[in-house]
Structure 1
Amino acid sequence: MSKPIEFHDQSDSVNVSKLGVAEAAAAIREGSMTSEFYAAALLERSRANADLNAFVTIDDTAVLERARKADKLRAEGLSLPLLGVPVGVKDSYLTKGIRTTFGLEHFDFVPTRDAASVAALKGAGAIVFGKNNLVAMSYGLTGDSSRHGQVLNPHNRNHVSGGSSSGSAAAVAARLVPASLGGDTVGSIRVPASLTGIVGYKPTNGRWPSDGVAPVSHTLDTIGVLTRSVDDSILIDGVITRGRFPRIASSARDLRDVKLAIAPRQFQAMITPDVDAHFHELSRRLLDAGVHLIEIDLGSDFAELTQQTAWTLFFHETRSSIIEFLKTNHVPTSFDYIHRGIQPFLKATWEQRVVPHGEFTPSHDLYETARTTHRDEIKRRFKDAFARSGADALIFPTTPTTAPSIEDRFEFRLGDKTVNFTALANHTLPANIAGLPAITLPTGASHEGLPFGVELDGQHGDDNRLLSIAQLVEHVFSDLTKPR
């Protein structure tokens, strides 16, 4: 057994911070690094990058105590897949004994239990490093939090990180932690992962337990994880699902067996020129690697249909979903209290679109049409497209642009159109409507150094196949994403 690493200077913490989840777990398990040393290095790095606003709560003393306990358990012979590995948790998750704010002003709550997914990670030996910043009640795509401050993009601090899992993405991208749990309603894992140059995995709806996570829409919500590699997402998936699905082994299969669908009318019609040029280059690389690219068409009205369906479900279900969550989990607040104290921009949105009798609050009839007729139609189109093409997954640019500047976070240009920040989710929200598994991969950066991302959507329930393909595709693009 190799000698445990000893902490010497700042350079050690920088090197150790590059470890992914699996690498860190192996180093701790094999005794080449202690959990205490690893945690101390990450704490030092988090302090040096506090201006990112990635974390809202870190208890240094508690983190080091948990790390020392993990080292003791390891010395006693305990073997767990994530023993001693620190992870971040979005502050929409309940965390036992750790402050939870949901991003709200004037609200601090210390839960007496963990969300189911947090409990699963802790059961596998992981350490909760801290709670990640987010927009209040996960209601936004830019990372703008009035209470905790705007989350900055580690690649360029003048640009947004995306949201609503903004702090989770920034923390992983800046190597403050190797992974963080996030939540995704219309793209809140994949959008920030893409804009910050990391992997973001949204499982098939229902694959991961959402118990103990503050909701936005019970129909669209999915929890997931942000990591720096597909392998690490696979490892976390195995822990969360507790082995209910077959293990996904690293595959050396030939890419010539893989068929990927592209839908240019739906996912390349309104994107910036640099995103368009980059995706064409990625397509060429995939073809050179032997991938079969098959063009499909999801319908001329697909964009309009998915937008109308997603936002109708989103706004209509917010109030009832939050009320039920607060009641079930004995959270000492109410929807009305949250509404009164929420930041002005969101308060205006809720008054217009969420509360009963708001000017644009979807009616019950409109909601039911979206929940059944329109949602079923979108599911049918995906199912038919996969069946006709024989494709293993659909591939497209995750976001229509790279990260907007903070100055332009609410409105920016896409081609000759001025759009608002919700356009960042144009490509991601269809998967939430249909409940499909989806993963975004980093694929390089623009001339300005801002990351590009590409998304793969799989067939409903076929997460293992999607993750296996993502491993292969990640390898094709690996030279474009050298570690920072």
Structure 2
Amino acid sequence: MQDNENTVGAASGDDAIVELGVAAAAAAIRNGEITSEAYASALLRRARKHADLKSFITIDESAVLTAAAAADKARAAGSTAPLLGVPIGIKDSYATAGLRTTLGVGNLEDFVPQQDADVVGALKNAGGIVFGKNNLVEMSFGLTGHNSPYGQVKNPYSHDHVPGGSSSGSGAAVAARIVPASTGGDTVGSIRVPASLSGVVGYKPTNGRWPGGGVAPISHTLDTTGILTRSVEDAALLDQIVTRNTSAPGSRRSDLRGVRFAHAPRQYMKVVDPETAAHFTAALERLRDAGADIVEIDLGESFMETANLLTWNFFFREMREAVGQFVADNDFPVTFDEIYNDVKPQLKEIWSQVVVPDGPGYLSDEGYQSALTTERPQLQRRLGQVFTHHAADALLFPTTPCPAPLIEHGSSFTIAGHQVDDRFLAYNTIPTSGAGLPGISIPIGLSTNGLPIGLEIDAAHGADSSLLDVTRRVEALFGTLPAPA
């Protein structure tokens, strides 16, 4: 009876502690205000309470508590590691030493790697704790959070709706306060789409800024690792840790005077849910009222269509070779063909068309070379002009064209009267991926039925630090969303 009372008492005090973000939790542990063990225990109770979200594939509770106890001992011995004792979720496309890594497919349900992915190693070296492995769409190939072997991830704000993907479990776990941050991977929007639909911050770095070693790929041209958090401050902290950037943070200004934002409604507002459009328009007004300069630009008649075609071509054309090389180099006990033969029928049908070399939609060598040497540089130049010719500090647009669709609609639903498939959730995020630019999605409100709406802020290639600083100042206008009911 006594044990049960202790458990109930602990659970009743969890609400405040699970609200702590990465920086706040690290500071509280460092200052002795809480222990890592108490924090980890609260998060584990939260994970059990919200197991129905299917946001994790694997959690080794004893390993988490052992690591937390070790962190508390290290703190007592004088350690000031920046993430000391803070548990972080890891997307299950990242290899984790001693903890199973499935890539979201049934073939690997029992596989335990020997080495950590580079990002995982960086987080651990900074004192972070691996909390568990986040659920994802099989092989990171999808945007709704559906996974046949490990379950459909649910949106914490409404369990009948999708959380976005492919980093679906990462977004859901952070939104549900199960962890303060989770890693993600972004190829066409797989960090920013779930961030938008699940109401958290999703940071896609400039391609090449974050290491990708030990993370299952799709396209070496488009892929980047990144992070989902509940604040821009936490994303910036984790960016500093992963990139080993010891320079002083950007300006600590809180106002937006002198900041110039561009938006391109002809391109990014073509098919947008009315509530999303209204929130975006209101956001522009709030930014203008806060002193920012807002300029409307036009990226050209065929910009979005060209960017989408180009980016999906890379996505499909590079996947088979990238995955095959990855599993061989990292000693995963599976081949691409074995994965292909075991995935869900809907996915296998798509791959048979555009991923395998004998598929009718497989991009030819000539088409691939043209995409690399001609079309992608053209996209990069056109987006680059936003920051040069138009002298904008950032480009703004709705991250996703609508709030989270219903799970029951599957891969087909309606936006503003237009019938679309699930790939349309990444329609706005794709140009950023195609050009390799940094982008961040932040929540700016809830729809009338309580679903998050996201704003994306992009910057010039390599301008990640400036982007994080500007986005922090934008975030101050909108705040963070309340926890899901």
When normalised by structure 2's length, the TM-score is 0.97
Q: Which residue of 2 aligns with 1:481?
A: 481
Q: CA deviation at 1:385?
A: 2.5
Map residues 29-48 of structure 1 onto 2, 5 A cutoff.
29-48=30-49
Whole-angstrom distance in 2 between the partners of 1:36 and 1:250: 35
Deviates more, 1:364-373 or 1:183-192: 364-373
**Equivalent residue, structure 2, for 1:235:** 237
Q: Which residue of 1 aligns with 2:364?
A: 363
CA distance in 2, matches of 1:81, 1:166: 27
- Look up the SS of the partner of 1:63 in the other structure: helix
Which residue number in structure 2 is paired with residue 3 of structure 1?
none
**Matches of 2:255 and 2:104 in 1, distance apart?**
45
CA distance in 2, matches of 1:455, 1:59: 34
CA contact (8 A) 1:238 1:247 kept: no
What is the alpha-carbon distance in structure 2 between the residues aligned to residue 224 and residue 437 of structure 1? 10
Work out the CA distance in 2 between the residues paired with 1:126 and 1:256. Answer: 36
Distance in 2, matches of 1:415 and 1:67, equals 48
Deviation at 1:483, TM superposition (A): 4.6
Correspondence for 1:197: 199
The Cα of 1:250 is off from its aligned counterpart by: 6.1
Residue of structure 2 in register with 1:96 after alignment:
97
Alpha-carbon distance between aligned partners in 2 of 1:382 and 1:293, rounded to the nearest angstrom: 17
Question: Partners in 2 of 1:266 and 1:251 — Cα distance?
Answer: 33
Give 1:105's aligned residue. 106
Q: What is aligned with 1:399?
A: 400
Deviation at 1:106, TM superposition (A): 3.4
Cα distance between partner residues in 2 of 1:459 and 1:127:
33
AA in 2 matched with 1:137 = M
Alpha carbons 1:250, 1:471 under 8 Å: kept: no
Equivalent residues in 2 for 1:49-60, closer than 5 Å: 49-60=50-61
Contact map agreement 1:14 1:45 (CA 8 A) in 2? no
Maintained 8 Å contact 2:156/2:172: yes
Equivalent AA in structure 1 for residue 232 of structure 2? V
Aligned twin of 1:173: 175
Distance of 1:88 and 1:409 partners within structure 2: 26
1:331-346 matched pairs, under 5 angstroms: 331-346=332-347
Q: Provide the secondary structure at the position in 1 that maps to 2:46.
A: helix
Select 1:221's aligned residue among 210, 220, 223: 223
CA drift of 1:415 comes to 1.9
SS at match of 2:441: strand
1:78, distance to aligned residue in structure 2 (A): 1.1
| Partner SS state of residue 389, structure 1 | coil
What is the distance in 1 between the residues matched to 2:447 and 2:121?
39
Q: 1:309, 1:371 within 8 Å by CA — same for their partners in 2?
A: no
Instruction: Output the CA distance in 2 between the equivalents of 1:483 and 1:357.
Output: 48
Q: Aligned AA for 2:32? A: G
Which 4+ stretches in 1 moved above 6 angstroms? none
Q: Deviations over 1:37-80 (max 9, x none)?
A: 00000000100000000000001111100000000010111110
Q: Contact 2:394 / 2:458 at 8 angstroms: preserved in 1?
A: yes
Corresponding position: 1:380 with 2:375 = no
Contact 1:251–1:471 under 8 Å retained in 2: no
Q: Residues 343-400 of structure 1: CA distance to partner in whole angstroms, max 9, x if unpaired? A: 1111111111100110111111111212221101100101122211110000010000
Compute the displacement of 1:11 (Å).
Answer: 2.2
- 1:467 equivalent in structure 2: 468
Matches of 2:198 and 2:12, distance apart in 1: 23
Q: Name the CA distance, whole Å, in 2 between partners of 1:83 and 1:166.
A: 26
* Matched AA of 1:417: H
Assess if the C-alpha contact under 8 Å between 2:317 and 2:363 holds in 1: yes
Corresponding residue of 1:211: 213
The amino acid across from 1:275 in the alignment is: T
How much has 1:14 moved relative to structure 2? 1.7
Cα distance between partner residues in 1 of 2:190 and 2:344: 19
Number of the residue aligned with 1:260: 261
Q: Which residue of 2 aligns with 1:450?
A: 451
Deviation at 1:147, TM superposition (A): 0.6
Determine the structure 2 residue equivalent to 1:188: 190
Aligned partners of 1:206 and 1:222 also within 8 Å: yes
SS at match of 2:407: coil
Contact 2:165 2:194 in 1 (8 A): yes
Match of 2:3 in 1: none
Are 2:328 and 1:327 equivalent residues in the alignment?
yes
Q: Which amino acid aligns with 1:160?
A: V
Letter matched to residue 241 of structure 1:
T
Q: Distance in 2 between matches of 1:140 and 1:332?
A: 23
CA distance in structure 1 between the partners assigned to 2:287 and 2:421 by the alignment: 32
Extract unaligned runs of 5+ from structure 2.
1-5
Query: Identity of paired residues, percent?
Result: 53
